[in-house]
Structure 1
Amino acid sequence: MWPVLWAAARTYAPYITFPVALVVGAVGYHMEWFIRGTPKPTVEEQSIFDRREERALQEATGKDLTQVVSLKEKLEFTPKAVLNRNRPEKS
């Protein structure tokens, strides 16, 4: 008799275990929310992009944005190319 029961359990295991697992999962899900209670609304934080934009606006508030450094002045401070590092300097 046992071999017949084991063969039947092996054959019909998915049809038996799925509804049992579904019921156990649903009961556990509802018990968890019953114990925890309703979730409290969370305060949304600003994204990093929004914070960066706010900071840039605050920094630019007191500045005259029409006065910029010319490209000729910027070129003096650019690093030399890696390939020209070992070449003698031209005078």
Structure 2
Amino acid sequence: MPLYAYRCADCADFEIQAPMASVPEAEPCPECGTPAPRRFTAPNLSRSSSSAYKLIESTARTASEPAVVSSPGGLRPAGAGITRNPLHQKLPRPD
């Protein structure tokens, strides 16, 4: 379903999702309840692939809905970062 933008004179702009057959010319503002007229915006046209859209949408969604994890997955097991290369022994070590 497409998004339609509305502008309240007292509050901020807002968007609703509605079927094309039943788009109202004015929609009550979610903040104050006064009727807000529909605002005309440019259509969201793009030549990107659907996988690009999925990536963009998931990235935007993580700003307000971060993923919940059950355990830290980025940790390495103990000793996994130790190298046995003799050339690496000559590198300076942090104190």
The TM-score bracket by the shorter chain reads: under 0.3
TM (norm. structure 1) is: 0.25
When you count helix as a share of all residues, which structure comes out higher? 1
Bigger relative contact order (CA 8 A; separation at least 6): 2
TM (norm. structure 2) is: 0.25
Higher Rg: 1
When you count strand as a share of all residues, which structure comes out higher? 2
